[in-house]
Structure formats: C-alpha cells, structure tokens
Amino acid sequence: MKKLIQIFILVVAIAGNSVSQSINDYEKKASECWSKQDYKCAEHYFNAMIKIAGSNYSELYLLYSNLGTAQRRQGKYQEAMASYDKAYDLRNNSTDVLSNRASLKRQMNDLEGSLSDYNKALSISPNDKELLMNRSYTKKMLKDTIGAENDLLQVLKLDPNDFKALTNLTNIRVAKGEFELALSTYEKLIAENPKEPILYNNRADVYLKMKNYDKAMIDVEQALKLGPKYGNAYVTKAEILIGQGDRKNALKYLQKAVKLGEDSEYVFKLIDECNKY
C-alpha cells in the first residue's frame, strides 16, 4: 500500500480540488478495505480511481497494477492478468508491473511467460535481489536447478547475509537429498535469526522429507507461533499431518492456508487428496 500513497500525492498535485478530494476519499477507503482484506471492496475503489484519474494521468499504470493485485487476491486471475497487461501497456519498463505479472503467470502455471517477464525486469534492474529470488523460484519450477542456484548465488554475492537466499539455496540442496547439510545450515541460520518463522518452517520441511514427523511438528509449531499469518507454515503442518495419517485435521490447516493466500495448484491437490478420506 506504500505505493498507493505515493500515487495519490501525485494525483492531488495535478487534479482540480473536487477531483483531488474524491481521489483522497477513495484512497482512504481502498486502504481501509485492504487492511481488512476485503479485496472486492478495494477493487471497487481502484476502479473508481482509474475512472476519475483519466487516461492522461501519468501514474495510471500503477492504479491498474494495484487493481490487478486486488483481483488476484480474490482468485480472479484472468481479470488480474488483464489489469497487469493494461499496466504493462501503459509503462513497459516498470519492474513492479513486470514482477507482479511474472508472479501471476507462475501461479497460473505459465512458467515460460513468468521467466520472460522476470528476464525483462532484470534487464532493467539487474541487481534487484527480490527479482533474482523470484526468478530463481520460477527456474526451479522449470527444473532449471543450475539457473536457480546461479540466481541465488548472485543474491548472496550482493548481500552475503541474505538468509532468505541462503534458505532457498539450501532448499534446492534438500531437493537433491542433501538433508544433513541442510539441517546444519538451518541450525546456524536459526541461531543467528531466532525469530524468523520461515527458517523453522523450512527445517520442518527437511524433517518432513526425512519422515521425522515429531521434530517436523515441533519446528512448524514454532514457525506458526512466530508467524501466525504465515500461510506456508499451515501447508507444512498439513503435510506433516498427512504423513501421520491425519487427513481430517490436515484439511483444516490447508483451508487456513488458502484464506491466507496459499492458493497454488499443489495446495488444492492436497485438499482434494484429503477430501477423499
């Protein structure tokens, strides 16, 4: 929402008094909707602001990008893509728009399209750590393990203390079956960052793959204690429960994860699996 505030300051500077007042009113209402996770309400006000701002407004592309995000949060992926496409047509060198669209394409399983958008964004901002991290994830899904590792190594070259990059690099090594190396890495990272839920969740995932469900559950519970709105930890807890044969309770945690935005194809596949029992 920080970008939204920047947008409306600009609108006020160029608009007439009555229009600027309407923009300010809508901005406040959109922010309230967003804070309540009422994305349908937010979508309504973003559309209203687009109508008021008009086609000559220089930051119109950001309004469309924010509209797309509100639609995406509602699961309206085709509409969200149309909004992101409109934002891109208005400003094709915006790394924010490209990143949003790349992420949605990945969510819609258009991995090549996602990679293309991340490549475009990184050609504009080659040392953007977040873009490199996200492109690495897309490459990993494309089974380009070497490419994914190279992106993460570039992040670590830019910032050797970026524990998220090191975490993702460790996850790739977990996929190779290097469990003991991963556990020792997480032991060190948790000692240095004891309040980061992602680290406990990822170590839980290592234990899960080792079928050590008791230790996995201890770690995921700590992750949820530190980050009660960390949706991925609910998915991990569900996976542990499935491993223990408790699909009924696993379903409850998967449903919580979906409410928190974890709506990937994999999550729904797990839900379908649980519903069979």
Q: Could you tell me the CATH number of the domain that includes residue 264? A: 1.25.40.10
**pLDDT at 124 > cutoff 90:** yes
Q: Could you tell me the residue range of the domain that residue 192 belongs to?
A: 178-277
**14 located within any domain:** no
**267 located within any domain:** yes
- Rounded distance between C-alpha atoms, residue 191 and residue 184, angstroms: 11
**207 located within any domain:** yes
Total-model pTM: 0.73
Confidence (pLDDT) at 20: 64
**Which is higher by pLDDT, 59 or 107?**
107
**pLDDT classification of 276: cutoffs 50, 70, 90:** confident
pLDDT tens per residue, range 84-120: 999 999 999 999 999 999 999 999 999 999 999 999 9
Confidence (pLDDT) at 2: 42
What's the average model confidence in pLDDT over 202-225?
Answer: 97
Category of 75 on φ-ψ map: left (φ > 0), alpha (ψ -120 to 50) or beta:
left
Tokens read off for 6:
């920047």
**231 located within any domain:** yes
pLDDT tens per residue, range 29-41: 998 999 999 999 9
**79 located within any domain:** no
- Total domains, the chain: 1
Tokens read off for 252:
């409850």
- Rounded distance between C-alpha atoms, residue 133 and residue 166, angstroms: 10
CB count within 10 Å of CB 2 equals 6
**166 located within any domain:** no
**259 located within any domain:** yes
**pLDDT classification of 16: cutoffs 50, 70, 90:** low
What's the average model confidence in pLDDT over 165-192?
Answer: 91
**Which is higher by pLDDT, 101 or 15?**
101
Among 92, 86, 84, residue whose Cα is nearest residue 110: 84
Among 70, 111, 65, residue whose Cα is nearest residue 84: 65
**93 located within any domain:** no
What's the average model confidence in pLDDT over 223-243?
Answer: 96
